[in-house]
Amino acid sequence: MQRMVRAYSRRSFIGLALSSAAGAAMAAGLPVSLRPELRPTDFHKRAVAGAEALIARSGLTGKVCFAVADVKTGLRLEGGQAHQGMPPASVTKAITALYALDALGAEHRFETTLVATGPVENGVLEGDLILAGGGDPTLDTDGLAEMAQQMKAAGILEVRGAFKVADGPAPNLPTIDPDQPDHVGYSPAVAGIALNFNRVHFGWARSGQSYDVAMDARSSRYQPRVAMATMRVEDRSLPVYTYADRDGRDEWSVARRALGKGGARWLPVRKPGLYAGDVFRTLARSNGIVLSAPELIRTATDGDVIVRYQSDDLLSILRGMLKYSTNITAEMVGLAASYTRAKGVTSLAGSAALMNEWARRELATDKMRLVDHSGLGSGSRMTADAMVTALVKVHRTGVLQPILKPVRMRDAKGRPQADHPIKVLAKTGTLNFVSGLAGYLTAEDGTEMAFAIFAADQDIRAGITRANRDRPEGARTWNRRAKTLQQKLIERWGTLYGT
């Protein structure tokens, strides 16, 4: 009997407590629904990591500056140190492309010519033959071979006068950036004529205890040896390459211990006019026409044009420049654009100053301080906000989007992801411990934005010696982290600001 009373008392107590709690809750109103609620429609946006958190997790040293804006209104959606001047690297080429298109027009074609200074009688040119550069950055050995064939087809079988090469009127500079190592192919000479992007092909193969080496101007169809660039193998470990300017030739030496069994690489040409003349002389000989050794002149004298060789249209050239980031193309088209405005341009810095002024006037930005047209020079500065201003300004014209390179987003394993919901058209920029990316992103819902991201560790860059600037320690890891951060920022913006 007592057990029943105790059991009943416990049940009564529990029931009374629950009843009292329920009554109190009903009186006060339930703070939480008893039914499960749907998450808010912007829950995925609330879960996106902040930009500062992404930068902190990236492992990058130095500074990261960025800006993103709505392309239709120019409204800044987000920014971080957006007004800080940073090295833009090859992002500069996007500005150069706009500058060249404005000055020269999308249909412009560069023209390389053969000029005869005397009459042609019975197949003999009684005068000089001049190979005159026209600023074509894409001229290759195939093009020179075609010109030699056309000269023969025009009835010229012999040249009694001199053979000359006109490599002006553009500035004649031995390298784009003097701070770069001598042997890097991305900093060749600049002149009014260029062949094979002003690079010579160096190939080597072990032959017993020595090496067979060759310096040639190879292209898709031809492989002529050159005399104006020579290579000597020396028994040493370092430096890997040395360069000397001797007797009108580019003289190179290479460390034997760096060669291995065999290989090849492109080396920069320091004398573009002599290089083009050397190769054309060989190609003319293959057509039965003997020419004397080439002589350099700045501009062609009066005479009759007997052969004209035209480049592709400028728009196609610029598309290739932005895709492959060819420095010599940027410098030559930038100089050509400046030369239409001021004939007295004598340096890359002077030409870049004209481009800076044009950008201030036409793109509504005064925060670009560029020292060349390729971005190779370390003195160039650009702000993320200024680049976004330019991108917004030209977006409505549609002139830049067709020639920008599609940038593939990557999956967690670093593989290109073709079905990624965010699409990007942009220009990359990479130097040692410098990484830039600027262009347009389209979110999954079709919202378009203009963005610019510049990262650099200038303290580390300042400590790299000239000899080690080709592949300094740690640069590859740093730049890989920068590219990973770029994608994470783009994904943040695509998710957060897509409607």
Gap between the terminal Cα atoms of the chain: 72
> pLDDT per residue over 90-112, tens digit each?
999 999 999 999 999 999 999 99
CA-to-CA dists, residue 137 to 143, 311, 359, angstroms: 12, 9, 23
Contact (Cβ atoms closer than 8 angstroms) between residue 198 and residue 226? no
Q: Specify if 94 maps to a domain.
A: no
Structure confidence at residue 412 as a pLDDT band (50, 70, 90) = confident
Q: For position 476, what pLDDT does the model report?
A: 95
Do 482 and 425 lie in a common domain?
yes
396 and 480 inside one domain: yes
Looking at 260, 281, 311, which one is the last position of a domain?
A: 311
Answer whether residue 34 shows pLDDT above 50: no
Q: Where do we find the tokens 């946006």?
A: 45
The two three-digit tokens of residue 167, written as one number: 């490599």
Q: Give the residue among 217, 128, 132, 117 at the shortest CA–CA distance from 167.
A: 132
Please provide the average confidence, as pLDDT, over all residues in the chain. Answer: 91
Cβ contact 355:334 at 8 Å: yes
**Domain containing 305 — which CATH number?**
3.50.80.20
Domain end: 311, 334, 358, which one? 311
Q: Which of 207-211, 379-383, 385-389 shows the lowest mean pLDDT across its residues? A: 207-211
Rg (CA), the chain: 32
- Give me the residue label for tokens 């009108």: 248
Model confidence at 11: pLDDT above 80: no
Q: Do 282 and 196 lie in a common domain?
A: yes
Q: 231 in a domain, yes or no?
A: yes
Please return the burial class of 288, using the count of CB atoms within 10 Å of its CB with bins 0-12, 13-18 and 19+. exposed
Indicate the residue among 286, 311, 336 that finishes a domain. 311
In this structure, is residue 397 part of a structural domain?
A: yes
Domain total for the chain? 2
- Does 268 lie in the same domain as 403? no
151 and 264 belong to one structural domain: yes
Q: Are residues 63 and 115 in the same domain?
A: no
Higher pLDDT, 26 or 216: 216
Angle between helices 272-286 and 141-153 (to 10 degrees): 50
pLDDT at 41 over 80: no
Using alpha carbons only, give the angle 347, 353, 354 rounded to the nearest 5 degrees. Answer: 100
pLDDT reading at 43 higher than 80: no
In a domain, 220, yes or no: yes
Residue scoring higher pLDDT (42 or 50): 50
Same domain, 283 and 396: no
pLDDT (mean) for 287-294: 97
Q: Is residue 27 part of a domain?
A: no
Give the separation between CA 190 and CA 331, rounded to whole angstroms.
8
The Cα–Cα gap between 497 and 499 comes to 6
The answer to whether the CB of 310 falls within 8 A of the CB of 113 is no
Q: What is the pLDDT of residues 308-355, one digit of tens each?
A: 999 999 999 999 999 999 999 999 999 999 999 988 899 999 999 999
Q: What per-residue confidence (pLDDT) applies to 471?
A: 85
State the Cα–Cα distance between residues 25 and 3, nearest whole angstrom. 33
pTM for this structure? 0.90
Q: Which residue has the higher pLDDT, 24 or 265?
A: 265
Sign of CA pseudo-dihedral 92, 94, 99, 105 = positive
Using 50, 70 and 90 to split pLDDT, how confident is the model at 416? Answer: confident
Question: What's the CA gap between 489 and 51, in Å, rounded?
Answer: 7
Q: Is residue 248 part of a domain?
A: yes
Q: Is residue 92 part of a domain?
A: no
Average confidence (pLDDT) over 397-410 = 95
Task: Residue 117: name the closest of 57, 160, 167 by CA.
Answer: 160
Mean pLDDT value across residues 236-253? 95
Is 335 domain-assigned? no
Predicted confidence (pLDDT) per residue in 130-144, tens digit: 999 999 999 999 999
pLDDT of amino acid 40: 52
Residues 398 and 461 in one domain: yes
Contact at 8 Å (CB) between 348 and 372? Answer: yes
Residue 65 sits in the same domain as residue 141:
no
Both 439 and 306 in a single domain?
Answer: no
CA distance 356 to 342: 14
More confident residue, 13 or 215: 215
Q: Domain residues for 276?
A: 110-311
Question: 53 with 116, same domain?
Answer: no
Phi, psi of 231 (to 5 degrees): -135, 135
- The angle subtended at Cα 322 by Cα 321 and Cα 324, nearest 5°, is 65
Quote the percentage of the chain above a pLDDT of 70: 91
Same domain, 81 and 131: no
pLDDT digits (tens, 9 = 90+) for 13-27: 334 343 444 444 334
